[in-house]
Chain A
């Protein structure tokens, strides 16, 4: 057996899960899809005393249209998000990113709540939550609270979640009219974690960008919003020259870690390339020229 011994609980409601989590104490871990936690257990990087299995909590598996937001339950699987016509129509950036997570079998099992709680700095959902300014709704025994993505991700695999809390759902702002979005990721093998990934939305009035949002992963301990850097470029004609200029400004603004295997200059180069491509693609979509 690969993992070290653990006790196992399979609650049938969120309230029961929260009680069990509190009763088990700090050594317990919540498991949903297990696509990140499973490898860590097999390699004994994590040795929890107990696993609390959320897979029976169907109350947490949902995608709801709440007008200006889509509310996605924590137990919703990556594939369910990628394939959802509601997500594709109302929050296409999220659907596009979900389609690129790991591999087909991983997407059948992995969950959005698990991905956010795990907070791998290279993962797709934390980046999209950051880019779109999603709120993460957290359940605890003393009630629920909502935390903005910008406050939720603290560092590498560290979040604002307390040890006795569980993510209930995520509120994603939906796409506006005449807004296009795009996600670009670069890795060495299909399905690997991103070396750098870029997510953007561009809203247009005619040819001019009215609002630009940009998020990046791979340049820091958490996904970053570059909205402050791209904001001055709103109001201009969003053509290829504009995209290249925005991307150069973004490149100048980021300071990724310098790692002998992955020099900072390489990540900066990737950043510029991916941001250019993402912007051009988002503008094309905002104009209805490309699907």
Chain B
């Protein structure tokens, strides 16, 4: 198909509606970066392996390089730009900072989004569970040890913040 018309869509990102004109083949990752000017979502491998482009769709982590912007009509997309409130880092972001869970930072937005979602579902994860989930996010700087430490630290902080009661 040589000519496919652009479509007008409404993309809801971080609670804001964006009116976009996109071809159906426009990746969500590219729409976020190029059309919504939200460049916190990083594009690495562009085939679902590296996890850098992970965003939340209706609260669940999703590869934005394997979804098309047009598919997101009627859904809520959340990106790393929504995580810090009024400039204050989330407990997970703060823990990544304190535990040296990042160096170059390229993979960090995907890790933040994945674990913002995962820690809501599993507030008291084992190291093995963290590593299983973290296996979907490639980091070439840290060797992962400090990321696991940071996630444990964040989970602990979040449990304290919410008066979490162990099951």
Contact = CB atoms under 8 A, between A and B. Distances in A.
Interface of A: 1-8, 10, 27, 34-35, 38-39, 41-43, 49-51, 53, 55, 102-106, 108-109, 189-191
B103 interface: no
Given A6-B4, A38-B48, A49-B1, A104 B114 contact: yes
Contacts of A39: 47-48, 66
20 contacts: A1-B23, A4-B1, A4-B25, A5-B2, A5-B23, A6-B25, A8-B24, A27-B1, A38-B66, A42-B27, A51-B24, A55-B71, A103-B51, A103-B133, A104-B61, A104-B132, A105-B114, A106-B136, A108-B60, A109-B60
B63 A38 contact: yes
Contact of B63 (A6, A109, A190, A191): A109
A34 B66 contact: yes
Given A39-B47, A103-B51, A104-B61, A191 B135 contact: yes
Interface residues of B, number: 34
Contacts of A105: 51, 54, 61-63, 114, 136
Nearest to B135: A190
Contacts of A50: 1
B159 interface: no
A220 B118 CA distance: 36
B62 A42 contact: no
B67 A38 contact: yes
Given A5-B23, A27-B1, A109-B62, 5 more contacts: A4-B1, A5-B2, A34-B67, A105-B114, A189-B135
B4 A106 contact: no
Contacts of B3: 5
A8 B70 contact: yes
A43 B66 CA distance: 11
A103 B134 CA distance: 8
Contacts of A27: 1
A270 B161 CA distance: 47
Contacts of B27: 1-3, 42
Majority SS at the chain A contact face: loop
A184 B137 CA distance: 23
A6 B1 CA distance: 6
Interface string B15-28: 00000000111110
Closest 4 CB pairs of A and B: A103-B136, A38-B66, A8-B24, A39-B47
B136 A191 contact: yes
Interface in B61-85: 61-63, 65-68, 70-71
Task: Give the most central of B2, B62, B66: most A CB within 10 Å.
Answer: B66
A42 B136 contact: no
B1 A3 contact: no
B24 A6 contact: yes
Nearest to A2: B46
Task: Give the most central of B27, B30, B48: most A CB within 10 Å.
Answer: B48
B33 interface: no
Nearest to B48: A39
Contacts of A41: 25
B47 A8 contact: no
B120 interface: no
B7 to A, nearest CB: 7
Contacts of A2: 25, 27, 46, 65
A4 B68 CA distance: 13
A42 B66 CA distance: 8
Given A42-B46, A190-B132, A7 B62 contact: no
Contacts of B30: 1
